[in-house]
Amino acid sequence: MANQVAFPDIDVRQRLTVSTGYGVAEIVVHHGSDMVGKKLGDSGLDDRDITVLTLHRGPHVIPNPRNKTVLEGEDRLLCFGKLEEMRSMIPDRKQKRVRRLMKKHLPPESL
């Protein structure tokens, strides 16, 4: 058939990482994020050269979400874009100091 379209088997992640500095990553919209309640088009992702490929909301998957989609807490966004921009969106963790336990502080049964 002349109108038949062939879809070759390709590794999508490999194809999407051909540009240096670009790649695929998942961004989680946490409940306290300033993105909660904003439309995807108003989230600033596009300004940061980040494209949302898929939105995962609980058991639901929204492929190619539209700019009018309102973001909710715990949404997971599968994105393609500048890796450095996506890394910068990860909230800073407060580093907890871990104290080394000395033998004198351990109960006798653990020695």
Chain mean pLDDT for the chain: 80
Q: Could you tell me whether strands 22-29 and 50-57 are parallel, antiparallel, or unpaired per DSSP bridges?
A: unpaired
pLDDT at residue 74 in the model: 95
CA distances from 111 to 66, 100, 106 (A): 59, 15, 7
| Side chain identity, residue 9 | D
pLDDT at residue 107 in the model: 57
d(CA 77, CA 27): 5
pLDDT at residue 5 in the model: 64
Sign (positive or negative) of CA dihedral 55, 38, 50, 91: negative
Lowest mean pLDDT among 16-30, 31-45, 73-87: 16-30
pLDDT at residue 24 in the model: 87
Tokens 């033998």 locate to 103
Per-residue pLDDT tens for 45-83? 999 999 999 999 999 999 999 999 999 999 999 999 999
